[in-house]
Structure formats: C-alpha cells, structure tokens
A = this chain, B = another copy of it.
Amino acid sequence: MALIEENDAQSALTQLRAYMAQQQLPVNSRLPTERELCQALGVTRTAVRKALATLEAEGQLWRHVGKGTFVGTRPIEDLTDIATITGRTNPVEVMRTRELIEPEIARLAALNATGRDIEEMRLCMAKSRAADTWRQYESWDNRLHRVIAESTQNKLLLALFDTLNSVRRAVAWGRLRHNKPRPDPDHHSFAEHEALVEAIAERDMDRAAQAMRRHLESVERNLLRRRTAGR
C-alpha cells in the first residue's frame, strides 16, 4: 500500500512542514535539535536529517554545526567589523588590498578634489618632511592618505578606506626598526607624494592612479627589505 504507508523520512518531512507552517515560526528562530526532534516525532535521527535536508534544500531553513537549525535563509557571513577582519587577514593581504583600492581613490580624487583639499595635501607633505621622529612622519603620512580619500567627496568610499586603514593598523607587522631616528630628506616617499599630489592638482586621473600605485609598491618594497634584511 505505497499510497498510504509512508516511510519514516516522508512522515518526518510532512510533520515538520506542518510544524513550521502552523507555528508561524519567526524567521531566524531556532528549531529543536535533531535529537529532540527524533523523540518528538517518534522517528529515527536519520529520517529527521533526511527531512531537514529537504527543507534546507528548499531554502526554508539552514543548519550549522554547534549552533543548531534555524528558520529562514542562511545569513551572509558578517565579516565587517574590524576585529573579525583583523583576525582573518594578514599583512600581505592588507598591502595587496591597498594597492588595489588606493590608486582608484587617487584617480577619483584627481577628479573631485577641491582647491582646499589640495592645499591640505600639500600641508601634510610639508609637515611630514619636517617631522622630527618616525612617529610624527607616519602620522602626517596617514593624514595625507586620508585627505586624498576625503577629497573624493564620497563618504562611502571614505568609510571603506577607514576600515582598510584600521585593519592595517591592527595587523601587526611586528617591530620595524628604523636605522635612522627620522626620515632622510631624500626618503623615497617624499618625491612619490609630490608626484601624486601634483597629478591630482593637475586633474590627471591616470597619472594620479599610477603615482599612488608606484608609491605603494615602493612602500611595500621598503617593508620587505626591512624585514628580510633583519632590520
């Protein structure tokens, strides 16, 4: 009598459908555990799992080891807070991502930067040249890069830049030693910053992007050299 008799898996599936339909279960609410469902429905765990698998394939629920079974669609993994990101990335990814995004920011900055923005970029350059310590230099360097991001006039892009920057600060490069107490007057960054800001001031988008790319590549080489050379 195949028409009447159902196997346990079918039975469990039917009961579960009824359960989810009748109860008006809120989205994201947790279902009983598989082991509890076994007893409640009076079927084996294998049957319950088969039924749950069907419902999951239909997108009615999602499951996760250690968490449980939940109504609705699986939430997208939220990797968007700084701490989480920091825990999953590494310095190389940070550098690659900067090289990917900041040139495009520079390109847009060349299009949108105001005269005042460009003035502030030049101020940052002057201050970084006059820095007495590496810490001061880095502070003005950071500020310059942020002003460029601000000058895109795009708040969302700026927010992404800030996220990237926070991650960069949080990811430990370890202790990078400087062999001099302060940047040399001919430190590579000075000329590169100069070329970058000049390109932005002249509204040359391609050149601005390229200048930023070269600058970041130069920064990266410097970091690697300092690490591999043991100082």
Indicate if the CB atoms of A159 and B79 lie closer than 8 Å: yes
**Cβ–Cβ contact A78 & B82, under 8 A:** yes
In the bound complex, CA of A190 to CA of B37 (Å):
42
Decide if A156 is an interface residue (CB 8 Å cutoff): yes
Interface size on A (CB < 8 Å)? 46
At the interface, is chain A mostly helix, strand, loop or mixed?
Answer: helix
Within 8 A of B (CB), among A118-174: 146, 154-160, 162-167, 169-170, 172, 174
Judging by beta carbons under 8 Å apart, are A172 and B27 in contact? yes
Could you tell me which A residues sit within 8 Å of B by CB distance? 24-28, 75-82, 84-85, 88-89, 93-94, 96-97, 100-101, 104-105, 108, 146, 154-160, 162-167, 169-170, 172, 174-175, 177
The 10 nearest A-B residue pairs measured at CB = A89-B156, A26-B175, A79-B159, A80-B163, A88-B155, A85-B159, A93-B156, A100-B104, A97-B156, A89-B155
- With A24-B175, A75-B170 in contact, do A80 and B154 touch (Cβ < 8 Å)? no
A sample of 13 more A-B contacts (CB under 8 A), given A27-B172, A97-B157, A156-B167, is A24-B177, A75-B169, A77-B162, A80-B163, A81-B81, A85-B156, A89-B154, A93-B157, A97-B154, A97-B160, A100-B101, A100-B157, A159-B163
